[in-house]
Amino acid sequence: MNLSPITHVSFDAEMLCLGWADGLHLRQPLSRYRFLQEATPEQRVDFLIEHRGRRVSWPQLAESGVSVEAIDWIWEHLCNESMARLQAVEWQLDRLPADDQAIVALWRLEADGYNGGFLQFFCNWGEQTCELALDTLAAIGARNTRRLVSRQRQLLGPLEHHPPLQRLWDLPELLSDEQHELISGELDEQLWSAMEEVPALAVKYFYLG
């Protein structure tokens, strides 16, 4: 990936600040990094910019050191920007440009997927967002994540026209114990691991620098 390198690291009273060669500047609360928050000024400036500018590490902090990844920061930045634009159009997804719609779908998949699993994602956002997430995963090349999400979606197919189904959140109650264990147990655990591929692939696809 031809990603612009981190060239600047600084702190203010409550923030860690990073700057990239392409002009991007991002800040995150120090409260997200306990060891940096508790470090002395001298310890904070004892950092290394590694991996061709894609990582900043503090090898002397904590037992195994502390590091932040450029990919994670940029992907979070892209998600925050798209979510802010979604809020500005009163949460009407179809009013956003295509790239923003795609990023929102991936953000929802990650947020709900890690928090409550695929069922939470699907029941919260429905078919449109699920299909958009699947299309976006295919576009960015996240094959493992797409395969698992597609499999979980297929397992819900036979329930869509079940007479008692009044709303999407009725779906979990209609699953058998075996189906529930497969979707929310075995496949969710695989999904959590697979989604680790998403940030790097999404940044490569969406970030222009």
Reported as a single tens digit per residue, the pLDDT across 65-99 is: 899 999 999 999 999 999 999 999 999 999 999 99
Q: What backbone phi and psi angles, to 5 degrees, belong to 63?
A: -65, -45
Q: What backbone phi and psi angles, to 5 degrees, belong to 95?
A: -90, -5
> Identity (one letter) of the amino acid at 88?
A
- Any alpha helices (H) in the chain, and if so which ranges? 34-38, 41-44, 70-88, 98-115, 118-140, 143-156, 171-174, 177-181, 188-194, 198-206
> What is the pairing mode between strands 6-11 and 15-20?
antiparallel
Low-confidence stretches of the chain (pLDDT < 70) are 1, 158-166, 209
pLDDT at position 161 = 64
pTM over 0.85: yes
pLDDT at position 65 = 85
pLDDT at position 156 = 87
Task: Quote the CA–CA distance of 77 and 30 in Å, as a whole number.
Answer: 16
Q: Do residues 5 and 16 make contact, with C-beta atoms less than 8 angstroms apart?
A: no
Task: Quote the CA–CA distance of 128 and 68 in Å, as a whole number.
Answer: 34
Query: Please, what is the Cα angle at 107 between 173 and 134, to 5 degrees?
Result: 70
pLDDT at position 173 = 85
> What is the pairing mode between strands 25-29 and 55-58?
unpaired
